Structure 1
């Protein structure tokens, strides 16, 4: 037992020494690091940049297309010709025929399809930004919840150390009683077993505590072995209005905003599909030069230089009802999105109402557990003193210790539950980030 106590004392000194060299990671700084280094956020930023790179008028066909074509050709020909007047030509000739041409094609009108495509590209860029904000919101929520979990486990370790002190005192008393013949060895062995169980619980909790730090480091894009200290948070007991939260959620909930943007994009898809019902007008122009030199024919030299221009109108009369089907598909998609929106709103309002009630309940439970912890600790102190004086049995002391253990565990969980409930309220209502 003495070796065990020395080992724990050594760990305490070692942890204290390391603490002096460790950085203090506040919740705000953790969120800041996540916004800067989280891999999911970085990927979302890159995807947004990729989508925004495709937003330009040329991608919608609004600008003319200019092509320059140049060709250089040559031929060798054996020419054998006989004329009715008796003349004959027998000659090995060559032909040199270079030409170059600049052509311009410009769609002037296609039923509004160009504008619909461009507007859709802009909306898709906005949608990508909204998706990025949703990822940022969820990442911030994960970081905060992970930080809260670290605080919970850290407090659990602290409370377990407090509990162990009472178990050590109990072991000391039963040991002394057994040695002088006033107590049974069974009480001593039971006390030692209970203390060992507490050390086992402490070891497992410390392992969970370290693993929770590794999880937070992953969210922050930091090395898994990075060590840090946390800063405890005050329980602010913020008061929220359910009506305000419900109204705000219908305006600012990130998932709902994304769905509204999908409806907007689908409307542009419908305009795109309807444009195929209308004619298309294209302007074509070209400027070219050709040169032909032939030493074996009637013309030894031929040059052409000219400008051409024209309008081409096309109107699809029938394409197997493909246009009508595409239009109908966009209308069905609009109805689908509308129903999805109704379902999502109902789900969000239900979750906020449930979470609000849970938050209010968790706050009440926290107040009760704070008071109960004080009562349980006072009861344990009295029970331990009575046991020391021989005025109570080990069963009574064991019951007092059990109640104290439970009160500390409930208190730690209540603090955690209040913070997580509030966090979820803010996320659902779109209030977590701007």
Structure 2
């Protein structure tokens, strides 16, 4: 038993010294975590790239409003043999007759009118860009919530370790006291054995909690795109809650700020443009074309005509009109489908509105309950701390047994760890409420 206890003590001392040195290296604040995530998180990077794609798509260069200009050029070379047999005369044979042609042109095409299709398509691309920004915001919000959830888990385990270290220290002092009492014949060996068992149990719990802390720090490093093994940091364990009046104001304006509702509004607008784009095919298209060309043509001599070289260049322009009077009903089908899609978006909006109201009500109720539990746990810790201090005095005077003292110690330990859990659960519930009201990125955490 003593050998096992010594090994556990040694292991705890080694882990304590290593992790304490690591924890003292640096403190990673919430602001630093959020800033690094915005810069380095893979999901956020991908979302930002999607926004850039949408921004490129909504540019004037992708609108169809600009003309197209194309240059063409060509060259042809002929080498032939020719035999001419006139009705009256000698046969004329020609070998190695060469002829060549060269041409070059610059062609300009521009659509004057296409039934307003490109106009509404340009508007649609603008809305798709706005939608991509909202989608990126949703990704950032989800990442922030996940990030802070792990951050607060690291904070909770950090505070639990402090509680467990104090508990272990008290158990060690009790073991030493029990050993002295046994050595001087003031107690039996059972008290010593009980104290050793309690020290061992506290040591095992501390070791396991340290391992959980290390794992949580690695999870945090993954989200921050940091070196996985770089766990030599501490976190800020301070938790502040927003005033109730601010939360009420956020809830009142949730419909104007919730990212899901804003996205469905953009989708409805895009669907409206899709209908107009489809209808534009009912109207004619008018286009302009222009060209500047140069040609050089050298022909070989024949039996009746001498060879010649012709060079031409000049401008040409034209106006064209095209109108699909009947395209087999394809445009009609596209318009009808676009209308149905618009109707679906309207129905989806009503569904999302109900779901958001439900989620906000649930999140508010959850936060209020978590916060109430947190306040109760604060009182519970205060009560158990008073009870433990009295039990400690009574135990030192021999008025209670070691078992009764241990029970008071366990009660205090459970109360303090429950307080830590309640505090961070309440904070995460508040963050979820802030996300649903669209304010997660607008408040100081």
TM-score (ref. length: structure 1) = 0.90
Residue of 277, 288, 292 corresponding to 1:272: 277
Cα drift, residue 60 of structure 1? 2.8
Distance 2:377 2:248 in 1: 29
Distance 1:7 1:287 in 2: 88
Cα drift, residue 395 of structure 1? 4.3
Matched residue SS, 2:253: helix
Distance 1:10 1:289 in 2: 88
Aligned counterpart, 2:169: 165
Distance 2:64 2:190 in 1: 90
Alpha carbons 2:9, 2:203 under 8 Å: kept: no
Cα drift, residue 46 of structure 1? 2.4
1:64-84 Cα offsets, whole Å, 9 max, x none, are 222221111111222222334
The within-5 A match list for 1:219-234 is 219-226=223-230, 227-234=232-239
Count of matched residue pairs: 433
Distance 2:248 2:386 in 1: 42
Cα drift, residue 206 of structure 1? 0.8
Aligned counterpart, 1:76: 79
Cα drift, residue 360 of structure 1? 1.9
Aligned counterpart, 1:142: 146
Q: Does 1:23 align with 2:26?
A: yes
Aligned counterpart, 2:121: 117
Alpha carbons 1:246, 1:349 under 8 Å: kept: no
Alpha carbons 1:91, 1:296 under 8 Å: kept: no
Alpha carbons 1:33, 1:220 under 8 Å: kept: yes
Residue of 146, 154, 157 corresponding to 1:153: 157
Aligned counterpart, 1:341: 349
Aligned counterpart, 2:111: 107
Change (3 A) 1:9 1:293: closer
Q: Does 1:45 align with 2:48?
A: yes
Aligned counterpart, 2:338: 330
Aligned counterpart, 1:67: 70
Distance 1:242 1:353 in 2: 12
Distance 2:14 2:320 in 1: 90
1:10-48 Cα offsets, whole Å, 9 max, x none, are 65555554455x122211122122222222222222232
Gaps of 5+ in 1: none
Cα drift, residue 112 of structure 1? 0.7
Matched residue SS, 1:67: strand
Aligned counterpart, 1:310: 318
RMSD over aligned Cα atoms: 2.6
Aligned counterpart, 1:238: 243
Alpha carbons 1:39, 1:221 under 8 Å: kept: yes
Cα drift, residue 209 of structure 1? 1.0
1:392-423 Cα offsets, whole Å, 9 max, x none, are 34443343233223211211111111211111
Gaps of 5+ in 2: none
Alpha carbons 1:94, 1:296 under 8 Å: kept: no
Distance 1:235 1:56 in 2: 44
Matched residue SS, 2:92: strand
1:327-383 Cα offsets, whole Å, 9 max, x none, are 122212112222222222222221211211222222222222112112112212323
Distance 2:26 2:416 in 1: 28
TM-score (ref. length: structure 2) = 0.88
Matched residue SS, 2:73: strand
Q: Does 1:362 align with 2:362?
A: no
Matched residue SS, 1:232: coil
Cα drift, residue 324 of structure 1? 1.6
Residue of 91, 97, 117 corresponding to 2:94: 91
